[in-house]
């Protein structure tokens, strides 16, 4: 019986593994196709979960209210994404001291 040296195992020829080059190539192609198909199936699932988590983190309880109100998570997410984009177009800035005083004065309850 011939002893096998495991130190050179990566260097053995494909033919030594009991497969011809074409068979080995076919296996690699099948594995690659399976991996691509798996990625194509999982990618949208992962993207949808990331979107849900991102919107839930951003909106908190409003996310849950919107989902409940709309009855559909995808529609609610589209609505919230639209709100987020709209707010991004606004010129939101801190009030100056004078503006804050004027705003606060207008909001005080009258006796």
Position 4 in a domain: no
* H or E element at residue 22: helix 21-59
Domain span at residue 90?
A: 11-107
Please check the confidence at residue 5 and state whether its pLDDT lies above 80: no
Domain-located, residue 41: yes
Question: Please, which residues have CB within 8 angstroms of residue 63's CB and are 6 or more apart in sequence?
Answer: 55, 56, 76, 80
pLDDT value at position 26?
87
**Model confidence, pTM:** 0.56
Whether 54 has a pLDDT exceeding 60, the answer reads yes
Cβ 76 vs Cβ 70: under 8 Å: yes
Residue 3, domain member (yes or no): no
Q: What is the domain count for the chain?
A: 1
């Amino acid at each position: 019986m011939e002893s096998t040296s495991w130190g050179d195992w990566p260097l053995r020829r494909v033919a030594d593994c009991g497969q011809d080059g074409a068979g080995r190539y076919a296996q690699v192609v099948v594995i690659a196709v399976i991996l691509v198909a798996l990625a194509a199936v999982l990618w949208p699932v992962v993207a949808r979960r990331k979107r849900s988590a991102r919107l839930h983190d951003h909106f908190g309880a409003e996310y849950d209210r919107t989902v409940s109100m709309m009855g559909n998570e995808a529609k609610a997410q589209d609505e919230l994404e639209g709100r987020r984009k709209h707010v991004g177009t606004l010129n939101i800035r801190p009030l100056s001291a004078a503006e804050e005083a004027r705003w606060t004065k207008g909001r005080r309850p009258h006796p």
